[in-house]
Amino acid sequence: MATDYTLVEGHADGRFTARVDLAGSMLVLLNDDRHHRTTVSVITTVDNPTLLQCIRREALAHR
């Protein structure tokens, strides 16, 4: 289930996006033409992991 996320036009470098939020936003954008032919970034706004948590999770997932 998607969490709270924000859509911004352009690139949001260095921001975290949960996969579930990316998928949810893509489904919303299918029926919304406000961002037609623009670059949109998805930013997860709650429960953002730290860089160390991301690295740890990825390292343990590939064992």
State the pLDDT at residue 27. 92
State the pLDDT at residue 63. 64
Per-residue pLDDT of the chain (63 residues; tens, 9 = 90+): 778 888 889 988 878 888 899 999 999 999 888 888 899 999 988 877 788 887 888 888 876
The 3 state secondary structure assigned to 8-43 is EECCCCCCCCCHHHHHHHHHHHHCCCCCCCCCEEEE
State the pLDDT at residue 23. 92
State the pLDDT at residue 40. 92
CB of 18 closer than 8 Å to CB of 46? no
